[in-house]
Structure 1
């Protein structure tokens, strides 16, 4: 957020609690915040969402019209669901994380699968950690929590993989630079 502000953008941080709430409850909460922020904007409104936040951006835009909608960047968002959520679905960990974490799996009834393809320009940034430690849980390239393949979505405008982990991508300078590039130009910079 601070790097976007340094690039001249007004940034409104949208907060929510993912523990003990269902996806529709979180969506209701963030919708109020976004509507309050964006109803009188005269410039384009761009969205950047990390992980579950990216799914919430998609859900919001599926249910709400934004008059001055600009571009959307999704960071490590499990657009096709999470194999980790599948793997741990019956564990005590998911009981602690709550109903939204349980809804992030890859089955047809999952929250990610309920979302329609984007009608807006969307850039996807996937993280990749060079580790084989979790290959039994998340096969293939991944950021430690979400597979690179699961971040992809039909209708995406551009896609890039950056060497970073799931949580740390929010603070990664290359992720920030590529986010700004997509918001400005509608494509990522070639590496």
Structure 2
């Protein structure tokens, strides 16, 4: 049974993005964690997680980006500029959700001005998306995905990205609770309603866990928060 606080968090996370949204920077004096939301979402989708990080002493940079309007390479440029505008000399950690994980991989495939620390990708379509593949036969949905969403096909951007830099310690958390049954037949046996758990794997990970969470709200699942905080603090995957 969901508590009132949990329902409030979910309502906040489902708030649509607005054109006037700006990065949310909260400096606690602790290590910086950059948060990147997923497709069609806004910074509020990551805000409950940001508060959990801040309560544990981390500084957070929660970045909105126009996920439904621009292709991935333009989104990466936008995110890079936002990070460079805020971070200092210390290591920069990342927690991403869904498309945000592909932006991170794209970002780190090029030169960056900061030292990247640890990275946790929540429900990333690292091997592409079966739903995007299926949408090619349904033009209205394919158009609605937007340029970045269409690039998440199995033969799209995720499959053509290089491995993460060897110095970046990265982990993935996938969900296995399917709360959107409409796509169930398209996905593997273990999925979160949007992404198959197997699609989250990528070479070079130091941690991979599958938890009882759905795609939309995995970033506030207690186990996802626990795993993320321990990994950020120790560099050792606790799963």
TM-score scaled by length of structure 1: 0.91
Shift of 1:67: 4.0
Query: In the alignment, is the contact (CA less than 8 A) between 1:129 and 1:142 conserved in 2?
Result: yes
Q: Which residue of 1 aligns with 2:161?
A: 115
- Of 154, 157, 161, which residue of structure 2 is paired with 1:106? 154
Shift of 1:130: 5.4
Query: In the alignment, is the contact (CA less than 8 A) between 1:79 and 1:112 conserved in 2?
Result: yes
Q: Which residue of 2 aligns with 1:74?
A: 121
Cα deviation code 1:58-93 (max 9, x no counterpart):
111111235432101100010111111111223211
TM-score scaled by length of structure 2: 0.73
CA RMSD, aligned part only?
1.7
Query: In the alignment, is the contact (CA less than 8 A) between 1:20 and 1:97 conserved in 2?
Result: no
1:12-91 aligned within 5 A: 12-38=61-87, 41-91=88-138
Tell whether 2:183 aligns with 1:137.
Answer: no
Query: In the alignment, is the contact (CA less than 8 A) between 2:175 and 2:192 conserved in 1?
Result: yes
Shift of 1:139: 2.2
Q: Which residue of 2 aligns with 1:149?
A: 198
User: Which deviates the most, 124-133 or 97-106?
Assistant: 124-133
Shift of 1:99: 1.3
Q: Which residue of 1 aligns with 2:176?
A: 128
- Residue-pair matches, total: 186
Measured in 2, the distance between the counterparts of 1:93 and 1:153 equals 27
Query: In the alignment, is the contact (CA less than 8 A) between 1:58 and 1:118 conserved in 2?
Result: yes
Cα deviation code 1:86-138 (max 9, x no counterpart):
1122321121221111110102xx01112111121101111111579444211
Query: In the alignment, is the contact (CA less than 8 A) between 1:128 and 1:141 conserved in 2?
Result: yes
Query: In the alignment, is the contact (CA less than 8 A) between 2:125 and 2:199 conserved in 1?
Result: yes
Structure 2 gaps, min length 5: 1-49
Which stretches of structure 1, 4 residues or longer, exceed 6 Å deviation after superposition?
Answer: none
- Of 85, 91, 94, which residue of structure 1 is paired with 2:142? 94
Q: Which residue of 2 aligns with 1:175?
A: 224
Query: In the alignment, is the contact (CA less than 8 A) between 2:176 and 2:190 conserved in 1?
Result: yes
1:24–1:167 CA distance, 2 compared to 1 (3 A): same
Larger RCO (alpha carbons 8 Å, 6+ apart): 1
